Amino acid sequence: VRALWRPPVPQDHIAYEKCKEFLENLHSTWFDGPYKDNWNNHLNVVFGKDHPDMRTLMEKLKYIVFEAKRTLQ
């Protein structure tokens, strides 16, 4: 997904710098930093295997998002 690598708005957009800061933090913390293996380990536990089929992947990810939203309410 392109939005995980560069801001999804033009450089002259008011939100560009904040998006850029968020992405830098995302990468330095979750992709390359101290938590880089946590999300992958969690997904392996949730799916029960390394490479689920697309339907299973989408269903599980939707459920994870649902649980996250419910927790935040």
Q: Where are the domains of the chain?
A: 2-31, 38-72
Polymer length in residues for the chain: 73
Predicted pLDDT at 63: 86
Rounded to whole angstroms, how far apart are CA atoms 29 and 53?
A: 28
Predicted pLDDT at 69: 83
Predicted pLDDT at 13: 96
Phi, psi torsion values for 60, nearest 5 degrees: -65, -40
Residue 23's Cα: distance from chain center in Å? Answer: 11
Tell me the mean pLDDT in the region 1-24: 92
Predicted pLDDT at 66: 87
Between 6 and 31, the more confident residue is 6
* Count of C-beta atoms within a 10 Å radius of residue 7: 18
Tell me the mean pLDDT in the region 8-25: 94
Predicted pLDDT at 39: 67
